[in-house]
Amino acid sequence: MTKPLALTMGDPGGIGPDIAIKAWLERTRRGVPPFLLLASPELIRDRAERLGVELSLVTSTPAEAVEIFSRALPVLPLKSPVPLACGTASVESAAAVIEAIDRGVDLTISGAVAAVVTNPIAKEPLLKAGFPHPGHTDYLGVLAAAHTGTASTAVMMLWSKELAVVPVTVHIPLAKVPAVLTADLIVETARITSHDLSTRFGIPSPRLAFCGLNPHAGEGGTLGSEEQDIIIPAIARLRIEGINASGPYPADTMFHADARTGYDAVIAMYHDQALIPLKTLAFDSGVNVTLGLPFVRTSPDHGTAFKIAGTGQAKADSLIEALKLADRIAAAAP
Ligand SMILES: NC(=O)c1ccc[n+]([C@@H]2O[C@H](COP(=O)([O-])OP(=O)(O)OC[C@H]3O[C@@H](n4cnc5c(N)ncnc54)[C@H](O)[C@@H]3O)[C@@H](O)[C@H]2O)c1
Ligand SMILES: N[C@H](C(=O)O)[C@H](O)COP(=O)(O)O
């Protein structure tokens, strides 16, 4: 029998509970793979009530979840208290938010579930509660390293049928990007991307196209030196290793339809350079996938959308794509 996916509740005040309920309701029509929701049953019942949905919910172990999924939403209760928040973030939720991630990863590593899919979390309340990581991606790298005993770099990729993008620097202030960007970091990010696109996504020799950092990719060094000093040497190193790397290209002309036929993924130098084109082209179908981990993790491409939590406006499309992609790449795991 197939294993379920573990789905974390995300921030309980955000739209995670809404879209988990919607994804379960859509399970047959849209072929949603079975998942076990890591949450408080009270929160999910409360949200279903706000949405005006009659929901069958059953507390479940991972082993029972696949069988239950066809008739009820299987929920694995959390130990930490979960405030019945809707529409606001709260520091009081932090312990439960982190517990759901930890348990999702533990269940995946132990083989009880096929992969972990995370609902969106708000970073600010977690940071205020003392959680030192700027997002799931970094934290998953730390959990993976603790599990394997070796340092593990987690790489963020936003994937869709139209476009896949990987930001080399992620959740740091824009002003710090030039200082953090090094040839070593670019090479490591690209190596992991090439490896995982090949092993998990079945692309034999992934074509990686690199953005420049500066306008016009530096215009031969007249509009900035990072291309000459950092990006071009990094690409040269990757080519020597046999990685199909090209660029750096001016970022403003890399994302139109013709340009997108020339690569399998874009390696971008900072967060918005990568995520603006992805979310513009594929907001409803984009999936956030963490590469470089010894387990599979995906997530919808959007955030907590507090304003529309409990209103029925949140779409579950990106979450459904994240569940389907996790199921597919977990089955292909090396
Ligand atoms: N995977 C994650 O954990 C993740 C990803 C992105 C942002 N975030 C966090 O989410 C919080 C809010 O971020 P934001 O406002 O920049 O982005 P957001 O994605 O939450 O919202 C942006 C806009 O898109 C709308 N939207 C988002 N998801 C939607 C959906 N499923 N259906 C319909 N409309 C939807 C929102 O209502 C809003 O108008 C921040 O704290 C951020 O750190 C978390
Ligand atoms: N940068 C991501 C986005 O905007 O979609 C997001 O914040 C999620 O990051 P984590 O997967 O690291 O939580």
DSSP string of 38-106, one letter each residue: EE-HHHHHHHHHHHT----EEE--HHHHHHHHTTSEEEEE-SS------S---GGGHHHHHHHHHHHHH
pLDDT at 205 over 60: yes
> Rounded mean pLDDT of the chain?
96
The pLDDT of residue 303: 97
| Ligand 1 pocket: which of 90, 304, 306, 323 to mutate (most atoms within 8 A of CB) | 304
Q: Which of 171, 163, 186 is nearest to 258 (CA)?
A: 163
Ligand 2 atom closest to the CA of 134, numbered from 1: 12
Which pLDDT tens digit goes with each residue over 74-97?
A: 999 999 999 998 999 989 999 999
One of 3.40.718.10, 3.90.550.10, 3.40.50.300, 3.40.50.150 is the CATH number of 155-292, namely: 3.40.718.10
Note the ligand closest to the C-alpha atom of 165. 2
Q: What is the Cα–Cα distance from 142 to 155, expressed in whole angstroms?
A: 12
134 lines ligand 1 (CB under 6 A): no
16 lines ligand 1 (CB under 6 A): no
Instruction: Place domain 1-154+293-334 in its CATH homologous superfamily.
Output: Isopropylmalate Dehydrogenase (3.40.718.10)
307 lines ligand 1 (CB under 6 A): yes
Domain boundaries, the chain: 1-154+293-334, 155-292
- Identify which has the larger pLDDT, 264 or 2: 264
Q: What is the whole-number distance in angstroms between the Cα of residue 219 and the centre of ligand 2?
A: 31
The pLDDT of residue 151: 84
Q: What is the Cα–Cα distance from 12 to 81, expressed in whole angstroms?
A: 11
Which pLDDT tens digit goes with each residue over 128-182?
A: 999 999 999 999 999 999 998 888 899 999 999 999 999 999 999 999 999 999 9
The pLDDT of residue 286: 98
Closest Cα to atom 13, ligand 1: which residue? 303
171 lines ligand 1 (CB under 6 A): no
Which pLDDT tens digit goes with each residue over 308-317?
A: 999 999 999 9
The pLDDT of residue 332: 81
DSSP codes, 172-227? S-GGGHHHH--HHHHHHHHHHHHHHHHHTT--SS--EEEEPSSGGGGTTTTT-SHI
Binding residues for substrate: 136-137, 279, 288, 297
Q: What is the whole-number distance in angstroms between the Cα of residue 202 and the centre of ligand 1?
A: 30
Note the ligand closest to the C-alpha atom of 322. 1
Which pLDDT tens digit goes with each residue over 38-76?
A: 999 999 999 999 999 999 999 999 999 999 999 999 999
Which pLDDT tens digit goes with each residue over 224-248?
A: 999 999 999 999 999 999 999 999 9
Ligand 2 atom closest to the CA of 138, numbered from 1: 12
| Ligand 2 pocket: which of 123, 136, 165 to mutate (most atoms within 8 A of CB) | 136
Q: Do domains 1-154+293-334 and 155-292 have the same CATH topology?
A: yes
* Lowest model confidence (mean pLDDT) among 88-92, 184-188, 292-296: 88-92
Closest Cα to atom 15, ligand 1: which residue? 305
pLDDT at 334 over 70: no
pLDDT at 325 over 80: yes
Closest Cα to atom 36, ligand 1: which residue? 305
The pLDDT of residue 17: 98
> What percent of the chain lies above the pLDDT cut of 70?
99
279 lines ligand 1 (CB under 6 A): no
pLDDT at 1 over 60: no
Enter the pTM of the model.
0.97
Q: What is the whole-number distance in angstroms between the Cα of residue 158 and the centre of ligand 2?
A: 9
> What percent of the chain lies above the pLDDT cut of 90?
94
Q: What is the Cα–Cα distance from 66 to 35, expressed in whole angstroms?
A: 7
Q: What is the Cα–Cα distance from 234 to 190, expressed in whole angstroms?
A: 9
Ligand 2 atom closest to the CA of 279, numbered from 1: 5
Binding residues: 136-137, 171, 216, 271, 279, 288, 297
Q: Please answer whether residues 28 and 38 qualify as being in contact, where contact means their C-beta atoms are separated by less than 8 angstroms.
A: no
Question: What ipTM was assigned to the predicted interfaces of this complex?
Answer: 0.97
119 lines ligand 1 (CB under 6 A): no
The pLDDT of residue 238: 98
pLDDT at 333 over 80: no
The pLDDT of residue 90: 87
pLDDT at 270 over 90: yes
